[in-house]
Amino acid sequence: MYARRRRTYFVLMGTCLALFVSAWSFVRLWSVEAAVGMAFAAMLLPPLASWAANRRGPDDRWWDDPSGDPQSDEWWDELDGKRKPGP
């Protein structure tokens, strides 16, 4: 999971950098409007990249890690449907 999120982050940030650099390196020579549009698109990518990198999947455990109290953990597992109720 972590590798997928990290790869997504770097792809989005690489796209952001490529858009920004290409917009002001050579696209502006043909169309300033297109360069401004590319820079605007590049501006929107860093927040999306951070959201993608910090997103937690359903298999990621962070809110329901075992607390150390066996009775409490057993109760929460039963509520989450991970264990059947005892006899």
List pLDDT tens digits, range 10-51.
999 999 999 999 999 999 999 999 999 999 999 999 999 999
Q: What is the pLDDT of residue 11?
A: 95
What confidence score (pLDDT) does residue 55 get?
A: 82
| 78 pLDDT tier (thresholds 50, 70, 90) | confident
Cβ distance 38 to 54 under 8 Å? Answer: no
Contacts of 15 (CB under 8 A, 6+ apart): 42, 45
Q: What is the mean pLDDT of the chain?
A: 85
CA distance 43 to 24: 13
Instruction: Check: pTM over 0.75? Answer yes or no.
Output: no
